[in-house]
Each structure stands twice: as structure tokens, then as C-alpha cells.
Amino acid sequence: MLTEPAISTWSSLVGSPSGEIFGTDISVWKRAARKTLGLQEKPIIISGHQPEFFHAGILAKFVAARAIADEIDGVVVHLVVDHHIGQSGVIEVPDTTGRYLSTKKCTIATLQENVAMKDQPRVSPQLDNIFSRALCEAVGDNAAMQFANATDDLMTPWATVDHCIGASALLETDLGKAIIEEMLVNPQPCIAAYNNALMQYPSCGIPLLEAGELPLWQGKTNEKATRIVDDLRPRALLLTLLARVVLGDLFVHGSGGCEYDQVMERWATDWLNVTPCAMVMATANVTLPLFAQSIEEARKTYFDAPSNYVEAIATAPYGSPERKRIFLALHKWLEGQHQKPDIRALKNALRIAKRRDWPFPLYANVLTKDFSVAKSAQASLSYCQ
């Protein structure tokens, strides 16, 4: 597991955000939000992701969050981007059945491609595997929370989550409502501070807001919000602003989140004059023990003739019918027993063997609690039959 800063320092970073918003101290907003969301008055360590079966690098965030929460008698909150639009019901897994290592896609549940998962009903899994069983047993009133809770259940060998909260719920807190009201009444300072923050970090890849556009999505298909309507959901920067100002005492990001959340910190300072709670980073680079033959090995195997043929040719008189007969027999054997290496397929197999983004349940038999992989372990890859 990789952390920044060292995880041994994290407990000293846990603490409330500071400042006032709209004339009210953050502590007041925070107490009200926790009451609304049903959270106890303990230090809250937050990590989050889209509702999908994510890879071990994301799992590392929750493992680290759990470790710190246990150290300080806190709780772990899984913040779910419940308005995510995507194909969470389709997962890619390694396929070891062919000549070369490849991948296959398994549809475990059917989701609408252009509708937010929070706006879709619970799914009925189509296969019988570890993912499907988790979805069947998971609680959740919609597809997003069903997937998130299924993921939490599958994480239990490595980390446990105390609360699973949808991102949209943060807009229902008192501060969430107050911020939306401020955007409606006085949008320009918000937009100007947002765009100014983005220009300080151009590499983050988040587009500037257009004139009149707000940092919100609206409706089931996550349209740009140019006016306030009832059906709102937060964009990434507003989501982490609310999470780190009104909800958490420490936010655990992955490597990508740490970069874009610097933008949020600048925006929060310039627009609201507040300092969010601290953020830290955790990730992991873990591959499955998959075998892929190198191009050099494949070529050697292809051109390596059986020793009995080689020796017979070497000992037969040069130019003799016997030597010619053995030579022809060798080539017939090669044609029947060997296939010329497919270089493109070999290169693809090598890339697959090095991948680190498989759904973390595939590591069940190989990944220990400290994220080391047992050298003698074999991956259990039969989850998507």
C-alpha cells in the first residue's frame, strides 16, 4: 500500500474544518448535517467512489481509512457518487482459457446507459457468482446504493464501513441547501472563484464553468445546471467541498482525487473563506498472478525442435536419404504440433498480466490484509462463469 503522507502521521491530521459560512460557524453546520444523516459524534474518516466493483487501489483507501478510524475511535463513511452514469453491471475479468491470456466482459446486471444509478431501481443479477450474490444480499433502495452496499460487503475481509451515504444526500443538509440558495441569489462570486481555482491547476482536467453554469448536475441524465431546479446532484468539487466541510474530519483520496481536490481547497478559500478538513492519499499497485509467455520464450519454444530429431539429423550422413527423411519428418512434426507465435496476441497478454485494475474481489485468494500477495497463491478467476 502506498500512502502520502506516511500513514503513521494521519491520526495527527484528523480534525474539524475551520471558519464561518454565511455567518454561522462550521461546527453548527456540521452538527446539523450529522443529525440529518444519522451519524454519531465521533471523528469521521471519509473515502468514496462510484458505485461499482472497483480495483485494489481503491480498496486501499478504505483499508487505510479503517486503520485510522480504529486508532482514534472514529467511524468510516463510504461516500457514494450515487448519480454516477456508467456500466457498473459489466465487469472485465482475465480469461485464461485460450492460447493466450485475454479478457472477457461479464454482464452481471443490466443498467440503463444514460440514467444516473440513483434513479434506477435495484437490479436482478443475471449470473451466479460472487458479484451477483453480493448484489442479491445487499441493501439499498436504488441501483447505486445496492452496488455500493454490495461492494462494502465484499470488502469485509480487508476493511469494514460504518456508514454508506449517497452524495446527493449532502445537498439535503442545512449547509447543502444554504449553498444552493446562495448560488441562486448570487451566482457570480461562486462561478468566478470556481473558474479562478481551476486556472491555477490546469492539469486537473476539469472544464471551466460557462456563463451562468453552476457546479451542479440536474435531472436523471446529469445535465448541466444553469438554473436551480428541484432535482440536483453535486459535481465533483462541490461534493468534496461539502464532504470535507460539513461531514468529515479526514478525507482519504486516491492519487487522482488529491490532484483535483487542490482546486476545491482554493475554491473554498476564495468563495467561502473556509479551510476544509485535511486530505490524505492511499493507493496500491497489485497485480494478479497471471502467466503470460514472453515473446522471446514463445519464439524459443517454436524453434526448439525435439532433441531426438536434432540428434538424428546431426548423426545422419550429409546429403543422405536418411538425413532428408528425418528433416522432412521434423518439419511435419512442427507443422502438426506447433503454431507460429502471434506477436500481437503475446504483447496484449503481457499487458493484461501487468494490469492492476481488476475488480478487487478477484484478489480474494491472493491478497492479504497488508496487501502483499502470497507467491504460492493462484488467482481464483472462475467468478464469471
Q: What is the CATH number of the domain that holds 71?
A: 3.40.50.620
Cα–Cα distance, 91 to 134 (Å, whole number): 14
Q: ∠ CA(210), CA(212), CA(214), 5° rounding?
A: 80
**Is residue 365 domain-resident?**
no
Q: Could you tell me whether strands 44-49 and 75-80 are parallel, antiparallel, or unpaired per DSSP bridges?
A: parallel
Indicate whether 313 and 266 sit together in one domain: no
> How far is CA 31 from its chain centroid?
30
Confidence tier at 374 by pLDDT (50, 70, 90): very low
For residue 365, what pLDDT is reported?
67
**pLDDT confidence tier of residue 373, bands split at 50, 70 and 90:** very low
- Cα–Cα–Cα angle for 272, 259, 4, nearest 5°? 110
Confidence (pLDDT) at 271:
97
Q: Give the per-residue pLDDT at 112.
A: 95
**Residue 378: which pLDDT band, with cuts at 50, 70 and 90?**
very low
Do 117 and 197 have their domain in common? yes
Spatial distance between the Cα atoms of 57 and 55, rounded to a whole number of angstroms: 5
Read off the pLDDT of each residue in 342-349 and give the average, rounded to a whole number. Answer: 91
Q: Do residues 191 and 54 both lie within one domain?
A: yes
* Mean pLDDT, residues 237-266: 94
Tell the burial category of 98 from Cβ atoms under 10 Å away from its Cβ (0-12, 13-18, 19+). exposed
Closest CA to 362 of 337, 336, 380: 380
pLDDT at residue 243, rounded to an integer = 97
Which residues face 93 on adjacent strands? 104
**Across the beta sheet with 214-218, what order do the strands follow?**
223-225, 214-218, 232-234
Q: What distance in Å separates the CA atoms of residue 381 and residue 385, rounded to the nearest whole number?
A: 9
Burial environment of residue 307 by CB neighbours within 10 A (0 to 12, 13 to 18, 19 or more): exposed
pLDDT reported for residue 296? 80
Residue 302 pLDDT: 67
Residues 38 and 68 reside in one and the same domain: yes
Together in a domain, 152 and 256: yes
Structural domain includes residue 313 = yes
Number of domains in the chain: 2
Work out the average pLDDT over 352-372.
Answer: 81
Please tell me the pTM assigned to this model: 0.87
Q: Are residues 108 and 212 in the same domain?
A: yes
* CB-side neighbour CA atoms (13 Å) of 285: 5
Tell whether 247 is covered by a domain: yes
Share above pLDDT 90 across residues of the chain, in percent, rounded to a whole number: 69
d(CA 73, CA 69): 6
Is 224 inside a domain boundary? yes
Q: Residue 235: give the domain boundaries.
A: 2-283
The residue that leads in pLDDT, 26 or 370, is: 26
Residue 344 has pLDDT above 80, yes or no: yes
Domain closes at, from 225, 250, 283: 283
What is the mean predicted confidence (pLDDT) over 4-31?
A: 95
Q: In this structure, is residue 374 part of a structural domain? A: no
What band does 307 get if pLDDT is binned at 50, 70 and 90? Answer: low
| Calpha distance 244→14 (Å, rounded) | 11
In a domain, 378, yes or no: no
Do the Cβ atoms of 360 and 343 come closer than 8 Å? no
Could you count the other beta carbons within 10 Å of the beta carbon of residue 51?
29
pLDDT digits (tens, 9 = 90+) for 274-297: 999 999 999 988 888 888 888 887
Task: Answer yes or no: do 268 and 182 share one domain.
Answer: yes
Same domain, 342 and 260: no
β-pairing, 163-166 with 75-80?
parallel
Question: Is residue 361 in some structural domain?
Answer: no
Say yes or no: 210 and 166 in one domain.
yes
**Are 277 and 320 members of one domain?**
no
Of 228, 258, 283, the position where a domain reaches its end is 283
Residue 284's closest CA among 371, 378, 380, 374?
A: 371
What is the per-residue pLDDT across 318-342, written as a single tens digit (0 to 9) for each?
A: 888 888 888 888 777 666 655 678 8
Question: What is residue 326's DSSP assignment?
Answer: H
Q: Check whether residue 179 and residue 129 sit in a common domain.
A: yes
**pLDDT above 70: residue 165:** yes
List pLDDT tens digits, range 51-94: 999 999 999 999 999 999 999 999 999 999 999 999 999 999 99
Q: Are residues 272 and 309 in the same domain?
A: no
Distance CA 214, CA 24 (A): 23
